[in-house]
Amino acid sequence: MKISDEIRTELKFDNKGLITAIAQDYQTGEILMLAFMDLEALEKTVKTGKAHYYSRSRNTQWLKGESSGHFQVVHEMYIDCDADAVLMKVEQLGGGACHTGYRSCFFRTLDGDVVGDKAFDPKDVY
Amino acid sequence: MKISDEIRTELKFDNKGLITAIAQDYQTGEILMLAFMDLEALEKTVKTGKAHYYSRSRNTQWLKGESSGHFQVVHEMYIDCDADAVLMKVEQLGGGACHTGYRSCFFRTLDGDVVGDKAFDPKDVY
């Protein structure tokens, strides 16, 4: 994977220097999580093939899986029409993406029902 | 659809009053687009069953499909673990979500290959 020169000039970071990143299971199409990347996190993701993000609350870059072992191996990367969002098709190691233990961070409906699948027990991981 | 009282108190808008919203095809799982919502756009989406967004560039709410007829009929809505992103499973009317005529806004790989399917000719629509 690489970032083409043309897309590199198009990339549109917000006023905090971030773009949005979606992680989608490369086999099932399930949306696993949504987070943010700065340019360096994007470049590290492309270079290493493992998803790196930028935490808005902790103001720091992070390698997904660094503490949990639940790395996301990136199979494909897409950019959207206005070049401010990235879609990654990933292989989620460890069974789940969410720190709560659910497979996906989107484990609740907006009306409050818990519908997601538990993938691990957070106390075994964090 | 509704927003449960518990989730309403959890909703975490950014400093511009926005949350992120992903539209995913309810049948194929394809990611169609990523955009933003303020509380009112979220409430209108829930009330009408059609996706409403907030444009950061135009500083205005918009009903997806209002000018193109390409409405997004919302079948399911999910909220993520930290309540700052919404996932909608939608039925995309008119064949495509992207103003460029592609079915998905993510029609290019990060290395610049165009891989998405054309759904309509923008000049017939806008």
- Structural domain spans, chain B: 5-116
Q: What is the pLDDT of residue A95?
A: 87
Confidence category of residue B30, pLDDT binned at 50, 70, 90: very high
Pick the CATH number of A5-118 from 3.40.50.2300, 1.10.3720.10, 3.40.190.10, 3.10.20.810: 3.10.20.810
Do residues A97 and A122 touch, judged by C-beta distance below 8 A?
Answer: no
Q: How far is the alpha carbon of B68 from chain A, nearest alpha carbon, in Å?
A: 17
For residue A42 the two structure tokens come to 């994007």
Question: pTM of the prediction?
Answer: 0.96
What rounded mean pLDDT belongs to chain B? Answer: 96
Q: Does B30 touch chain A (CB under 8 A)?
A: yes
Q: Which of A4, A34, A80 sits opposite B85 (nearest CB)?
A: A34
pLDDT at A59 over 90: yes
Residue A126: pLDDT band with limits 50, 70, 90: confident
Q: How far is B18 from chain A (nearest CA, A)?
A: 13
> What's the helix, strand, coil split of chain A in %, to 5?
15, 35, 50
Instruction: Read off the pLDDT band of A14 (50, 70, 90).
Output: very high
A99 to chain B: nearest residue by CA?
A: B81
B5-116, CATH topology level? Ubiquitin-like (UB roll) (3.10.20)
The upper half-sphere exposure of residue B43, i.e. CA atoms within 13 Å in the direction of its Cβ, equals 6
Mean pLDDT of B100-123: 96
CA distance linking residue A17 with residue A12, whole number of Å: 8
Task: Give chain B positions within 8 Å (CB) of A111.
Answer: 1-4, 7
Tens digits of per-residue pLDDT, A72-103? 999 999 999 999 999 999 999 998 999 999 99
**A 52-71 residues inside an 8 A Cβ radius of B:** none
**pLDDT of A125 strictly over 90:** no
Residue A114: what pLDDT?
97
Whether the per-residue pLDDT at A106 is higher than 90: the answer is yes
Residues in A touching B24 (Cβ below 8 Å)? 29, 31
According to the model, what pLDDT value does residue A71 have? 98
Give the pLDDT confidence of B37-84 residue by residue, as tens digits.
999 999 999 999 999 999 998 999 999 999 999 999 999 999 999 999
Average pLDDT, chain A: 96
This model of the complex carries an ipTM of 0.96
Q: How many CB atoms lie within 10 A of CB A3?
A: 20
Contacts of B103 (CB under 8 A, 6+ apart): B30, B32, B92, B95, B96, B97, B116, B117, B118, B119
